[in-house]
Amino acid sequence: MRPFILSETNWKTIKDQNIELAVLPWGAIEAHNYHLPFATDNIMVERIAAESAQAAWNNGAKLIVLPAIPIGVNTGQLDIKLNINLNPSTQFAILNDVTDVLNRHKIFKFLILNGHGGNDFKQMIRELGPKYPKMFICGCNWYQSFANSDFFESSGGHADEMETSVMQFIAPELVLPLNEAGGGIGKKFRIKALNENWAWAERKWSKVTADTGIGSPHKATPLKGERCFNEIIKKVGNLMTELAGADIDDMYE
């Protein structure tokens, strides 16, 4: 029983526990090439939340990890069988309700730990700010906490070498052999600016990739996954430690 995981702990422990920071992991349920499970984003974000919180707890951080929200924004993938979509407006409603509870119980620091590229909490955090002026709400995309090229030979972003390696390390029983994976070949836009990331449009996933993956998984290994995972835990654990210890009235230097 880990006292910083709400799903595992109990009222006897929680009722007198001083909690500075709440962490909400948020994933998605979606096809990940042929070889990774639909819950890949959930499995990764939950494990990263728990192990980072453990590291922060060991540093003296007073924090709690809330249960992960297992469905994300998949508006560009509704024609892919059983990819389930929560619209951004639904996400905002959930986030608002969770924030209201934290605010009532004077847990004023709140980290949304995101594990899915289609989720974007930035504008929601802006809108929640004036509604809950005592709170400090922060978002983190764990997959941006490290440089992909420090650990992997190829990139892509979806069921690619990174995601496959990390899953081979943390949940090998759920990963099919790589000879069953598709190539993860993703098409680019014809319009140049959309590939340069200074113009943006949602991709129609089934027109971009045949096997639902973007990025080749074929050079993935559990060892690469372990090295990367350890770096993520170090980075996100430090973030949690700093947030838990921060003074909301004195955030700037």
Cβ closest to Zn ion, residue 40 vs residue 212: 40
Q: Which stretch binds Zn ion (CB under 5 A): 37-45, 55-63, 84-92, 174-182?
A: 37-45
Q: Which stretch binds Zn ion (CB under 5 A): 5-13, 35-43, 69-77, 132-140?
A: 35-43
Cβ closest to Zn ion, residue 62 vs residue 219: 219
The CA distance from 225 to 161, in Å, is: 9
Radius of gyration of the chain (CA): 19
Report if residue 161 touches Zn ion, rule: CB under 5 A. no
The CA distance from 23 to 35, in Å, is: 29
What does DSSP say about strands 109-114 and 136-141: parallel, antiparallel, or unpaired? parallel
- Least distance from Zn ion to the Cβ atom of residue 19, Å: 29
Cβ closest to Zn ion, residue 41 vs residue 161: 41
Taking Cα atoms as reference points, which of 224, 239, 214, 234 lies closest to residue 77?
Answer: 214
Q: CA distances (Å), 12 to each of 64, 196, 248, in order?
A: 15, 53, 28
Cβ closest to Zn ion, residue 41 vs residue 46: 41
Nearest residue to Zn ion by CB is 41
Cβ closest to Zn ion, residue 110 vs residue 142: 142
Taking Cα atoms as reference points, which of 115, 92, 75 lies closest to residue 204?
Answer: 75
> Which tokens hold the place of 49?
């939340």
Among 5, 35, 41, 205, binds Zn ion (CB under 5 A): 41
Question: Interface residues with Zn ion (CB under 5 A)?
Answer: 40-41
